Amino acid sequence: MGKTLAEKILGSHAGHDVSAGEIAIAHVDLCLFQDGTGPLAIRQLEKLGVDKLANPDRVVFFLDHSAPSSRKELSNDHKFIRDFCRKTGAQLSEVGKGICHVVINEDYVVPGQILIGADSHTCTGGALGCFSTGMGSTDVAIGAAYGKSWFRVPESFKVYVTGTFPLGVFPKDLILHLIGTIGADGATYKSLEFCGPTIEEMDMSSRFTLSNMAVEAGAKAGLIASDETTKKYLESRGRGDKWIPLKADSDAEYERVIEIDVSTLAPTVSYPHTVDNTYTIDEAAGIKIDQVFLGTCTNSRTEDWEVVAKIVKGKKIAPGMRFIAIPGSVEVMKEVMDLGYYKTLVEFGAVMVPPGCGPCVGIHGGIPADGEISLTTMNRNFHGRMGNPNAEIYLGSPAVIAATAIEGVIADPRKYAKELKTIGKPQIVDTMALKAVAQSAQKTIERVASDTATVLGPRAKEASDTVEKVARKATEQYGPKVRKAAEDFEKTLTKLAADATRAIKDALSSKPPKNSTKKATKKNAAKKNTAKKKAVKKKAAKKVVKKKAVKKVARKAAKKTTKRTGRR
């Protein structure tokens, strides 16, 4: 009988074949703690007298839930974790580095391994073909200390996904639809195995969203096969050598098969106070929202920021609306800055918070007031989740967040079709203003080149090369970095003009070589002598012509006299 992904990975770490329902002792490759669960785990290890970790290079503590710390008690917890990492050699992801479930996958997780974490959304790592699951602080502490843990091998649900996402529908809508279909406890202690042609076409960011929310249906893990997309992602993160192909056997046995055609889906919203309380956008549209939040380990990656930035660019936030945006990691923050998305959201009216969990855990960074309603890209909308039990939380995709921020009420992103069509495509300058700037720049370059050639003569090639080099540099800047077109054009043209002017001045101020001066003098003298000789010859020729004319007149006169007198 074939094996599911969960059975394959757990069996390889237990040292023997395992099947669903069995208890297995398996080696652990990676352990995760955060600032909320880490102190408890450390104290448990101290009670057990453990002062060494089995593999400290693969035990990572994240300071992300309150980053920077919002209270002195949390600051003391951070210090406690820092001291433990210094003492044991465990890895520390400092304040500002990012959310544990984003950074752990950026820097550590590889296919075929086992990751256990003292946080329920550790299951995010399943997107990389790693058996990733959340456990209690004590269980993960034991795994970190001894390098192994016990597992009940989960039964698996096969979620087979087909079709093409309609415009305005995203993987977040898919996972909300699935949870709404099977219920918040519909996959308790199961492994959700996402597969099918639609999953195979998904990028890693989309896969992370699916695996991240597997636990919201009660699942132990949310696994996706390790394929070429996985390989490319690991290569981009410098871990390409760790990639292995991994998928379930074709004859693997599943407890349940769920088939979803995404082409039939609509944008989906989860109502308070459970994730499975889902409605389509047609039913949800129009609900007044006070605050929107883009972030969390579910939707805080560069691709999520792109969706929002493309929709809101050039627009203004709705009156009375607050917009909180938090990148998932410092790497994401740098990327969205480079791509111009960060600036776009700031200009739109968003408030930026450093990489971390922010209001998702209700500690700081945007806790709503009594009676306020938030729409977020979070994975949970439990009662009091954002720090105030008297507020309400709705869940939606980044696209729904963007449309809502513009309109002030839950809004259908599909009405922004023009903006949605640009997502995932290179940025193109198509405004008349930038076209005019480009045409003006071209004329300026041509004019400078022409003037330079006229003035410099023999040295025009040198000036032309200078102009070409500056123009090439400008072209390189405007291809991949079109977002700064207007500013860069102005800077580049200013530099171009300065370089060309400098080249002309240098050429004019430079003295010609002495030899060339002598040659030019001799040549000019020769030209003058030749011209003088030609003038003399021309004058002599005129005298000859004049003499001939006089003789001719004399002969005619003589003939007339002879005829009249008869004398010669």
Contact 253, 1 (CB under 8 A): yes
- Band of the pLDDT at 564, cuts 50, 70, 90? very low
Contact 11, 17 (CB under 8 A): yes
Claim to verify: residue 164 and residue 258 sit in the same structural domain: yes
Among 420, 449, 464, residue at a domain's last position? 420
Claim to verify: residue 340 and residue 456 sit in the same structural domain: no
Among 215, 236, 264, residue at a domain's last position? 264
Q: What is the DSSP string of 293-305?
A: EE-TTTS-SHHHH
pLDDT score of 568: 46
Query: What are the tens digits of pLDDT across the range 477-492?
Result: 655 555 556 566 667 7
Claim to verify: residue 126 and residue 250 sit in the same structural domain: yes
Query: What are the tens digits of pLDDT across the range 55-77?
Result: 999 999 999 999 999 999 999 99
Whether 158 maps to a domain, the answer reads: yes
Structure tokens at 475: 């072209």
pLDDT score of 219: 98
Whether 514 maps to a domain, the answer reads: no
Mean pLDDT score, 238-247: 96
Whether 425 maps to a domain, the answer reads: no
Contact 188, 218 (CB under 8 A): yes
Task: Return the higher-pLDDT residue of 480 and 100.
Answer: 100
Of all helices (H) and strands (E), which one includes residue 534?
Answer: helix 514-565
CA separation for the pair 485, 168 (Å, rounded): 28
Task: Please report which residue ranges of 252-300 form alpha helices under DSSP H.
Answer: 281-284
- Band of the pLDDT at 183, cuts 50, 70, 90? very high
Among 458, 485, 509, residue at a domain's last position? 509
Q: Please give the residue range of the domain that contains residue 568.
A: 520-568
Whether 426 maps to a domain, the answer reads: no
β strands within 198-302, DSSP E: 221-224, 256-261, 268-270, 278-280, 291-294
- Band of the pLDDT at 506, cuts 50, 70, 90? confident
Contact 191, 21 (CB under 8 A): no
- Calculate Rg over the CA atoms of the chain: 39
Task: Return the higher-pLDDT residue of 41 and 446.
Answer: 41
CA separation for the pair 528, 520 (Å, rounded): 12
- What's the burial of 78, exposed, middle or buried (CB within 10 Å: 0-12/13-18/19+)? buried
Q: Look up tokens 């005298």; give the residue.
A: 543
Mean pLDDT of the chain: 88
CA separation for the pair 419, 428 (Å, rounded): 12
Claim to verify: residue 228 and residue 145 sit in the same structural domain: yes
**HEC-encoded secondary structure of 13-27:** HHCCCCCCCCEEEEE
Q: How many CA atoms lie within 13 A of 149 on its CB side?
A: 27
Whether 123 maps to a domain, the answer reads: yes
Question: Which of 339, 342, 341, 327 minimizes the C-alpha distance to 297?
Answer: 327
Q: Pairing mode, if any, of strands 23-27 and 148-152?
A: antiparallel
CA separation for the pair 452, 469 (Å, rounded): 15
Q: Which residue type, as a one-letter code, is found at position 259?
A: E
Task: Return the higher-pLDDT residue of 424 and 38.
Answer: 38
Query: What are the tens digits of pLDDT across the range 264-309?
Result: 999 999 999 999 999 999 999 999 999 999 999 999 999 999 999 9
Claim to verify: residue 193 and residue 93 sit in the same structural domain: yes
Structure tokens at 118: 């003292």
Claim to verify: residue 164 and residue 144 sit in the same structural domain: yes
Buried b or exposed e, range 473-491, using 16+ CB within 10 angstroms: ebeebbeeeebebeebbee
Q: What is the DSSP string of 489-517?
A: HHHHHHHHHHHHHHHHHHHHHSPPPHHHH
CATH code of the domain in which 360 resides: 3.30.499.10
Structure tokens at 97: 């580095």
Of all helices (H) and strands (E), which one includes residue 518?
Answer: helix 514-565
Task: Return the higher-pLDDT residue of 526 and 92.
Answer: 92
Claim to verify: residue 215 and residue 239 sit in the same structural domain: yes
Whether 449 maps to a domain, the answer reads: yes
pLDDT at 567 over 50: no
User: Would you give the end-to-end CA distance of the chain in angstroms?
Assistant: 146
Claim to verify: residue 100 and residue 59 sit in the same structural domain: yes
CA separation for the pair 347, 332 (Å, rounded): 19
pLDDT at 350 over 70: yes
pLDDT score of 390: 95
- Number of folded domains that form the chain: 4
CA separation for the pair 328, 334 (Å, rounded): 11
Question: Which of 160, 137, 134, 118 minimizes the C-alpha distance to 45?
Answer: 137
Instruction: Using a pLDDT cut of 90, give the percent of the chain over it.
Output: 74
Question: Which of 240, 178, 186, 184 minimizes the C-alpha distance to 209?
Answer: 178
Determine how many CB atoms are found less than 10 A away from the CB of residue 449. 18
Claim to verify: residue 501 and residue 524 sit in the same structural domain: no
β strands within 453-551, DSSP E: none
Query: What are the tens digits of pLDDT across the range 207-218?
Result: 999 999 999 999
CA separation for the pair 127, 204 (Å, rounded): 7
Instruction: Using a pLDDT cut of 70, give the percent of the chain over it.
Output: 77
Task: Return the higher-pLDDT residue of 492 and 128.
Answer: 128
Query: What are the tens digits of pLDDT across the range 49-58?
Result: 998 999 999 9
pLDDT score of 544: 56
Residue 162, phi then psi, degrees to nearest 5? -130, 175
Whether 275 maps to a domain, the answer reads: yes
Most distant CA atoms of the chain, gap in Å: 161
Which of 15-19, 424-428, 518-522, 539-543 shows the highest mean pLDDT? 15-19
How many residues does this entry show for the chain? Answer: 568
Whether 515 maps to a domain, the answer reads: no
Q: Which of 56-65, 355-364, 370-379, 524-533 comes out lowest in average pLDDT? A: 524-533
Claim to verify: residue 74 and residue 195 sit in the same structural domain: yes
pLDDT score of 425: 81
Structure tokens at 112: 């075929």
Claim to verify: residue 212 and residue 322 sit in the same structural domain: no
| CA distance to 27, 63, 71, 92, 516, per residue, from 135 (Å) | 15, 18, 26, 20, 87
Cα four-point dihedral sign 350, 351, 352, 356: negative
Claim to verify: residue 343 and residue 406 sit in the same structural domain: yes
pLDDT at 474 over 80: no
